Structure 1
Amino acid sequence: MPKAYVFTRYGGPEAEALVEQDRPSPGPGQVLVAVRAAGVNPVDWKQRTGYRRPGAAARDLPAVFGNEVAGVVEGTGPGVTGFAVGDEVFGSPVAGAYAEYVLLPTTVTAHKPAALSFTDAATLPVAAATAYDALHQLGLPSGATLLITGAGGGVGVAATQIGHVLGLRVIGVASEAKKDFVESLDAVHVPSGTGLAERLRSVAPDGVDGVLDLVGGGVLEAAATLLSDRTKLITGADRETVARLGGAGIERARTAAVLDAVAGLVVDGRLRPFVTGTYPLDRAAEALRTVEEGHVRGKIVIEVAR
């Protein structure tokens, strides 16, 4: 039977398990995909603790980990057009990605360009698409200055690069250990930690034009001090604090069109996924721990051998 990596209850790593489960059958508007790669993101372990996006329904347990995947179509459900068996695709699964087989809704599934690897494609539906949505939500003009907190993580790395595509000057907050990495992305690095507000003022004495926060809490509050227009303050980490500060959460489009756009940037060489580690499915626990520890540069991917 096909394998999947799941959490059996809400809690810590002790709730995780590699299990066998029936191969799913696609329903209306869905495709069955044989997984080749699944991206690993902080939201994955957070969901294990009970976190849900605003408006999201509770998941049935055991629940498969993962929110982005790439693979090959093995079957199509009723009413599906534009996809056929054998197509190479990537997107956001119906219920988890760390598995040998998953279902994808066609509304958030895109054809994988031949020049894009499965591993790189699996990094795009969450991190790169979130970054793309966030920067288009901010709508900053070319030449503007963008501050990104958490610039060394998956979303931050993608946002930094997409910011340059849009002609923005980027300042990135990240740990001192990620200084060289952030600067390699042509961003001005500001080390996180005590005294952040003062360090930010030293590199942007006139403030910034927009803030993309991926950390929340005190880091978000420090970043907000550089903005005169709080409508240009958005977060993917702390909606409660950002609302108090006059900003907003990231608004996700969750469309195939966005997936096509970010895939095109990768193929064109303007967006690098920066996959820094890959793991087989039977080592999914190690992959998840690497991300949960919070010190990953770029992206971690689970690869499924075929």
Structure 2
Amino acid sequence: MRAVVFDRYGPPEVLRVAELSDPEPGPGQVRIRVRAAGVQPFDVGVRRGEMPWAEVRFPQTIGQEYSGVVDRLGEGAGETGLRVGDAVLGSTMLNAYAEMVCVPVQNVVRKPDRLDFPTAAALVAASQTASGALNELRVADGDVLLVHAAAGSVGTVATQLARLRNATVIGTASPANHAYLRQLGAIPVAYGEGLVEAVRTTGLTPTVALDAAGGEAIAQSVALGIAPDRVGTIVDDKAAAENGTRVVRAGRSPERLAEVIALAARGAVTMPVRAYPLTDVVAAHAAVESRHGRGKVVLILEP
């Protein structure tokens, strides 16, 4: 099978497509023929060598989120009702940019027919991260949620889920993405040095903040008077410690993922996809690394 590997830490150019042996599913596993794989900032960090706890052995495969079709069942995996040919999606660890991946059957979520493979892959990590963060921050009806980097993948899902909870959302983004945030139901403001005043100009008082940007986002949220226990970050542990706020990483949950996927199948949650063929993985990583653009970068594998 074809898979993306890297032989040393470094820039996007260290990534290459290699031929590897097809994996075989063990007991309780299924093998997925991958149709699309999401690209996330975590992958960039692994490639750079900035995730010391990640077990990397060169040549190292990479990738955390996939959608595809079941093509082989390991011993006992059929007891769940999953069958060869079923369309699925889910999380994995450092091996999703590949034509095949083997995963525990209990981590697999069925893909609704109305959701295409690229969008399904694009929603895997963002859905679990955003829904978990909103739960930890207790976002509810009547809240005014400030989402930093609202046009990114996590911000996109968090904004829509918060609106479904009847919260008001203020989203930070570059001016080029303000019309997009309005489409999601958010009130857009430009990020940067003038953010605090820009938020105040809306006439709204934020009660909770989710940081998916880093930098000054946490300090700005605290300056706006948001209680520290309701300021959460998914990207900046250091700033959270310095400001007495929270790191919100609820972890993976197939159940939470399935809930958001069901909303997406009904059109209640959307995700713009920026698609690249597997052979353009270097460009895909460069796009994520730039921290610009909206929605999600996804690698496409032909069936």
User: TM-score category by the smaller chain?
Assistant: over 0.9
> In terms of mean alpha carbon deviation, does 259-268 or 24-33 score higher?
24-33
Q: Where in structure 1 do 4 or more consecutive aligned residues deviate above 6 Å? A: none
Q: RMSD of the TM alignment (CA)? A: 1.7
Aligned AA (2:181):
V
Corresponding position of 1:25: 24
Relative to structure 1, the CA distance from residue 204 to residue 49 in structure 2 (aligned partners, 3 Å threshold; closer, same or farther) is farther
Corresponding position of 2:285: 288
Matched, 1:88 2:84: no
CA offset digits 1:249-300 (Å, max 9, x no partner): 122241211121011110121100122x212211222222222212121112
Matched, 1:10 2:9: yes
Give the TM-score normalised by structure 1.
0.93
Determine if contact 1:94/1:103 at 8 Å carries over to the other structure: no
CA offset digits 1:142-187 (Å, max 9, x no partner): 0210000011111111111111111110000111221221122121
Corresponding position of 1:271: 269
Determine if contact 2:37/2:65 at 8 Å carries over to the other structure: yes
CA offset digits 1:180-229 (Å, max 9, x no partner): 21122121111012222222232256x31111000112122112222442
Corresponding position of 2:215: 217
- What is the rounded CA distance, in whole Å, between the counterparts of 2:226 and 2:302 in structure 1? 51
- What is the rounded CA distance, in whole Å, between the counterparts of 2:253 and 2:276 in structure 1? 28
Give the fraction of aligned pairs with identical amino acids, expressed as a percent.
37
Determine if contact 1:37/1:69 at 8 Å carries over to the other structure: yes
Corresponding position of 1:134: 133
Determine if contact 1:94/1:102 at 8 Å carries over to the other structure: no
Corresponding position of 2:227: 229
Relative to structure 1, the CA distance from residue 186 to residue 34 in structure 2 (aligned partners, 3 Å threshold; closer, same or farther) is same
- SS for the counterpart of 1:234 is strand
- SS for the counterpart of 1:301 is strand
- What is the rounded CA distance, in whole Å, between the counterparts of 1:4 and 1:13 in structure 2? 15
Structure 1 gaps of 5+ residues are: none
The match for 1:248 among 246, 249, 253 is 246
- What is the rounded CA distance, in whole Å, between the counterparts of 2:56 and 2:163 in structure 1? 38
Give the TM-score normalised by structure 2.
0.93
- What is the rounded CA distance, in whole Å, between the counterparts of 2:295 and 2:243 in structure 1? 29
> In terms of mean alpha carbon deviation, does 207-216 or 244-253 score higher?
244-253
Determine if contact 1:210/1:227 at 8 Å carries over to the other structure: no
- SS for the counterpart of 1:31 is strand
Relative to structure 1, the CA distance from residue 65 to residue 153 in structure 2 (aligned partners, 3 Å threshold; closer, same or farther) is same
> In terms of mean alpha carbon deviation, does 257-266 or 82-91 score higher?
82-91
> In terms of mean alpha carbon deviation, does 142-151 or 219-228 score higher?
219-228
Aligned AA (1:31):
V
Corresponding position of 1:108: 107
- What is the rounded CA distance, in whole Å, between the counterparts of 1:62 and 1:204 in structure 2? 53
- What is the rounded CA distance, in whole Å, between the counterparts of 1:227 and 1:77 in structure 2? 53
Aligned AA (2:51):
R
- SS for the counterpart of 2:129 is helix
Relative to structure 1, the CA distance from residue 232 to residue 170 in structure 2 (aligned partners, 3 Å threshold; closer, same or farther) is same
CA offset digits 1:223-254 (Å, max 9, x no partner): 22224421111111101211222222122241
